[in-house]
A and B are shown apart, each in its own frame.
Chain A
């Protein structure tokens, strides 16, 4: 079974600064996908960024980028130029293609990020 660990329950960052959220995972799979989801106070889960394990290049989406270290099983999220709207719970998630092909997600416990004006 896969496990996802987010070791930082809460973090804060000043507006316009950069913050990095940590995520490690454990799996015996070689091909898989990793995601960061954002959950603002509205509670909706919003996809922030995804990474394919077979790609060495780190994914980037505007102010969001990841540092994917496959050997270390690490997948951190960097948010640059933090904005007040980035205040949210951030979940790291792992996906393997299960035997049934259902693309099930396994989530970490989340990191609560507060952006301070």
Chain B
């Protein structure tokens, strides 16, 4: 069964550093997403991406965040200057044109900012 692959599975970074979280969505999917889950809290939408541009973003997705699909296969989330409160599990997901059938999520990247 096709999978969404996320790397790394765990990343530790110092406050103020830039991090890039990587995702390889399912190849024939058209919509791509990032969600995050702070430990013990609910999963929150960050951003959706379609046709090489952001479709929608939440209030969490401020100027410190950016996404891109540099080579047609990878989908990356960059945090420019990490803060302690960015520590969370970050999930990438992708969906076919009809996203209403549900996403396929990756296994997540646990980001720890120290």
In the complex where A50-B102, A102-B56, A104-B56 touch, is A45 in contact with B43 (Cβ < 8 A)?
yes
Binds B, one of A20-28, A76-84, A107-115: A107-115
Residues of A within 8 A of B35 (CB): 105
Tell me which residues from 79 to 117 in chain A have a Cβ below 8 Å from any Cβ of chain B.
91, 93, 95, 97-98, 100-110
* B41 proximal to A (CB < 8 A): yes
Query: Chain B nearest CB: distance from A95 CB in Å?
Result: 6
Query: Chain B nearest CB: distance from A86 CB in Å?
Result: 18
> With A and B bound together, what is the CA distance between A95 and B91 in angstroms?
17
> With A and B bound together, what is the CA distance between A8 and B8 in angstroms?
33
Q: Binding site of B, secondary structure by majority: helix, strand, loop or mixed? A: strand
Question: Is A110 a contact of B105 with CB atoms below 8 Å?
Answer: no
Query: Chain B nearest CB: distance from A46 CB in Å?
Result: 8
> With A and B bound together, what is the CA distance between A108 and B95 in angstroms?
20
Q: How many residues of B contact A (CB 8 A)?
A: 27
Residues of A within 8 A of B41 (CB): 109
Given A43, A100, A107, which contacts B42 in the complex, CB threshold below 8 Å? A107
Question: Is A91 a contact of B48 with CB atoms below 8 Å?
Answer: no
Question: Is B48 a contact of A35 with CB atoms below 8 Å?
Answer: no
Report how many A-B pairs have Cβ atoms within 8 Å.
66
* A42 proximal to B (CB < 8 A): yes
Residues of A within 8 A of B101 (CB): 50
> With A and B bound together, what is the CA distance between A95 and B93 in angstroms?
14
Q: How many residues of A contact B (CB 8 A)?
A: 27
* A52 proximal to B (CB < 8 A): yes
Question: Is B48 a contact of A44 with CB atoms below 8 Å?
Answer: no
Question: Is A44 a contact of B100 with CB atoms below 8 Å?
Answer: no
In the complex where A42-B107, A43-B108, A106-B45 touch, is A101 in contact with B50 (Cβ < 8 A)?
yes
> With A and B bound together, what is the CA distance between A101 and B108 in angstroms?
24
The contact sample of 19 A-B pairs, CB cut-off 8 A, is: A43-B107, A45-B91, A45-B93, A45-B108, A47-B102, A47-B104, A50-B102, A52-B100, A91-B42, A98-B56, A100-B56, A101-B50, A102-B31, A102-B48, A102-B56, A102-B99, A105-B45, A106-B45, A107-B43
